[in-house]
Amino acid sequence: MIQEAINRYLLKTKQNCLSPKAVLFDMDGVLYDSMRFHARAWHETAMNHHLQAVEEDFYMYEGRTGDSTINELYQRTFQRDATEKEKKEIYEEKATFFNRYNDGKAMTGAADVLAAVKNAGLQTLVVTGSGQHSLINKLEHTYPGYFTREKMVTAFDVKYGKPHPEPYLMGLEKAGVKANEAFVVENAPMGVEAGVAAGIFTIAVNTGPLPDKVLLDAGADLLYPDMTSLAKDWNNIMECIKKSGN
């Protein structure tokens, strides 16, 4: 299955080989078990502002910038974009709710994935659409020795955000590697789309409530149910890459 995924990737991207040197990790739903708090915070904020939304929407929109999510809700409810003032107010309210609910828990298995990646000699970077300082600033503490602010792409660095390839292209640049020299690890459909659009081999972990199909349709090259199973399979992935003559 891994071998087939590699062959499909090479064909699709017209690359000769996959030779990983870096892994670009999404943050929410991959490194932190924080998506349910984001979804709850977004949904409550939307209700307060009479915006049409259900909690699942926020798993579908995950990875987008806050502004883009707010515009989507305004378009849907009022058939117009939100004003700058509305965007600021709503994002701040959402952040307040999020910080109240979020327990800052690391995603189960994520530390094992990081250890396996480091052990394989690959760099580790974070590429997130998040602008939540509360989590971004915690990364170096939760996962000591893996991430530095210089090698991070956040909402503060990008113009478009996921599903645009921009954040992952920026991640490649920060890592100093090419598209066929990296992996993306993502849990969100729009994040997967962004990784794939950047030409990177994209591994999805379905840590949320969406059906697997949504991540596969977004173009995921491989799919795991959680970070623990990805950690267990990491050496197998690396072996398959070696075997495929890379």
Chain residues in the site for Mg ion (CB under 5 A): 26, 28-29, 187-188
- The tokens 């640049």 sit on which residue? 173
How many H helices and E strands in the chain?
12, 6
CB of 206 to Mg ion, least distance (A): 11
Closest to Mg ion by CB, 34 vs 180, is 34
Contacts of 210 (CB under 8 A, 6+ apart): 56, 59, 60, 189
3-class state of residue 124 by DSSP:
strand
Q: Of residues 28, 67, 221, 233, which has the active-site annotation?
A: 28
Q: Which residues pair with 23 in a beta bridge?
A: 124, 183
The residue (of 102 and 187) whose beta carbon lies closer to Mg ion is 187
Which of 46, 227 has the CB closer to Mg ion?
227
How big, in percent rounded to 5, are the helix, strand and coil portions of the chain?
50, 10, 35
Establish whether 112 is a catalytic residue: no
212 is catalytic: no
Which residue lies nearer to Mg ion by CB, 87 or 162? 162
Which amino acid makes up residue 58? F
Q: Which is nearer to Mg ion, 28 or 67 (CB)?
A: 28
Q: What is the DSSP string of 155-189?
A: TTT-SS-TTSSHHHHHHHHHHT--GGGEEEEE-SH
Least distance CB 169 / Mg ion (angstroms): 18
d(CA 158, CA 244): 35
Q: How far is the CB of 128 from Mg ion (least distance, A)?
A: 7
Smallest gap, in angstroms, from Cβ of residue 167 to Mg ion? Answer: 12
Enumerate residues 6+ apart whose C-beta is below 8 A from 2: 222, 233, 236, 237, 240
| Least Cβ distance, residue 30 to Mg ion (angstroms) | 5
Active site residues: 26, 28
